[in-house]
Amino acid sequence: MSGKKAFVIGHPIAHTRSPLIHGTWLDTHRIDGSYEAIDVAPDELPRFFERLRSGEFVGGNVTIPHKEAVFALCDDVDPLAKTIGAVNTLVVRDGKISGTNTDYLGFLGNLDQNAPGWSEGLEDAIVLGAGGTARAVLVALRERGIGRVHILNRTRENAEGLAAEIGGPFQVNDFAEFSELAPRARFLVNTTSIGMKGTRFPDLPLQKLPNSAIVSDIVYIPLETALLSDARALGLRTVDGLGMLLHQAVPGFEAWFGVRPQVTAELRAKVEATL
């Protein structure tokens, strides 16, 4: 019986699926702990950190709009979270608050589970987008040792800025170059918000990808974006974005409650039912 308490803070916080994910794992492992969603407005953040230091919680998750602001309040932030520029997980030990980012592990965990071997010998990958989530994806691809990562973004300067800031095997290209790059790319991932609300990339000739290519999306509402359904129609392997959301929760749960939880089909179905 641990009675350990964890949380997710954000503002607003009503739509978070994290309590469902962690609550399911607490039940599965019969841990006497809790995980609650707490609405913390930006000006209340320092006071919430005082509460944290008092030892009330073992840690928790951080979501919009606090992912950058918590940097200044943590006692330490790990180097990859600094590179990604956002903290989504806090761990409290002996009154010390450590910040980390588990999105890149979530991205890798999802692909490793649903497309085993996807990164073996992968020389060329294409990343669509250069926003906040692209940072975690680029760090993940760099850490996995992918040969060359082509970044295609609506605003080229944003991609150039990101590539320079993160540093890695990155090459910025224009969308117009997709047809030339695609035949060598065995991995394609969308990190933009395109795909939500029925939106789609206007001109992306997926048929130029090799038959062995894996196409992934980080958008998970809807679960099957136009990009994924187009890829599937061409017979390509696809991995949707829901797994990233589920897998990013694993390291936090393990750090707080001492058990490494599994992303099971049952958990996925439970969360999918709420989309």
Residues that bind ligand NAP (CB under 6 A): 106, 129-133, 153-155, 158, 191-194, 196, 218-220, 241, 244-245, 248
Residue pair 80/106 in contact by the 8 Å Cβ criterion = no
Give the helix ranges, DSSP H, for 40-131.
45-53, 79-84, 103-114
**Residue 119 or 153 having the CB closest to ligand NAP:** 153
Active site residue 5: no
CB of 233 to ligand NAP, least distance (A): 22
CA distance 34 to 227: 38
Hunting for tokens 């600094």 — which residue is that? 82
CA atoms within 13 A on the CB side of 244: 23
CB of 63 to ligand NAP, least distance (A): 9
| Catalytic annotation, pick one of 4, 5, 67, 82 | 67
CB of 129 to ligand NAP, least distance (A): 4
CB of 1 to ligand NAP, least distance (A): 32
Q: Using CA atoms of 272, 17, 93, 261 in order, give the dihedral in degrees to the nearest 10.
A: -20
**Residue 50 or 203 having the CB closest to ligand NAP:** 203
**Residue 196 or 233 having the CB closest to ligand NAP:** 196
**Residue 35 or 49 having the CB closest to ligand NAP:** 35
CA distance 99 to 83: 13
Enzyme catalytic residues: 67
